[in-house]
């Protein structure tokens, strides 16, 4: 076990074993929000540094907040630069998601950044970080297989065209469809029932399954997540901390303002 009481590579192992998992995006730069999401029963949380409000400080605090409930943290970095990926992993992130890749060659480079040199990677080697228990645990440096979950987003036409080749790369564990970006890239923005879009999702699932990988996607709510799971997606995010809170409050305020409830309140 690591210092966080989460076995290194546990999330990756679950997906490789064929399990389905459900998590949520955390973008409010709040360790409290991360903790609530973990406490609510997420299999994982994903701290979003591409579109979220936070910085790498959010990773430092969010990993600890989720780990208190035994929940691993994945980080969506701003770009696929080596330093961005390494810093997330040094904070004991269970995996990294990279956005906006276009080619399989870029995905191969991403996998190199995930791994230490012993596994053929170019991740910077240091021990005074959380991943190595502040120098007291050097076993990650000598791991015999990749521990961090590698997630490549399929949200551009280039990535979609090379989805099969990307899925075949050892070290890419999840092909994650980005619904909004993908729909725009396909020329059918927000048309999630359009056959052009649904066929693209089917291609992602098919490519992932053929190579023993998991397909992932972001769902608006739990009902949508269940439909995606039925379609073969095994790494499904249910909204985000901000969207779920906004939806819950909107519905609660609407219910509180119904004429029937107002009459009862005044009675």
Catalytic residue among 19, 39, 41, 51: 51
Contacts (Cβ under 8 Å, ≥6 apart) of 122: 82, 112, 113, 115
Q: Which of 203, 236, 201 is nearest to 218 (CA)?
A: 236
Reduced to 3 states, what is the DSSP secondary structure of residue 157? helix
Give the CA radius of gyration of the chain: 19
- Could you tell me which residues come within 8 angstroms of residue 150 by beta carbon, excluding any fewer than 6 positions away? 95, 96, 110, 111, 114, 171, 172, 173, 174
CB 208 within 8 A of CB 215: yes
Active site annotation includes 51? yes
Supply the residues annotated as catalytic.
51
């Amino acid at each position: 076990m690591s210092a966080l009481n989460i076995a290194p590579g546990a999330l990756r192992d679950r997906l490789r074993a064929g399990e389905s998992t459900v998590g949520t995006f955390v973008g409010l730069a709040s360790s409290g929000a991360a903790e609530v999401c973990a406490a609510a029963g997420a299999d994982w949380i994903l701290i979003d540094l591409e579109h979220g409000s936070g910085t790498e400080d959010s990773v430092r605090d969010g990993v600890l907040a989720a780990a208190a409930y035994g929940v691993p943290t994945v980080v969506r970095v701003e770009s696929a630069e080596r330093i961005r990926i390494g810093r997330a992993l040094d904070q004991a992130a269970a995996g990294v998601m990279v956005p906006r890749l276009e080619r399989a060659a870029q995905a191969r480079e991403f996998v190199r950044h995930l791994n230490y040199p012993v596994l053929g990677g170019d991740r910077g080697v240091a021990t005074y970080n959380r991943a190595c228990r502040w120098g007291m645990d050097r076993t990650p440096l000598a791991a015999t297989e990749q521990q961090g979950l590698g997630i490549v987003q399929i949200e551009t036409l280039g990535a979609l065209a090379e989805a099969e080749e990307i899925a075949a790369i050892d070290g890419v564990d999840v092909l994650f469809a980005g619904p909004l970006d993908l729909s725009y890239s396909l020329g059918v923005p927000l048309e999630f029932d359009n056959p052009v879009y649904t066929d693209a999702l089917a291609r992602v699932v098919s490519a992932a399954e053929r190579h023993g990988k998991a397909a992932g996607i972001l769902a608006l709510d739990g009902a949508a997540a269940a439909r995606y799971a039925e379609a073969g997606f095994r790494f499904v995010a249910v909204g985000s901390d901000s969207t779920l809170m906004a939806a819950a409050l909107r519905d609660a305020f609407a219910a509180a303002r119904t004429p029937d409830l107002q009459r009862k309140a005044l009675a």
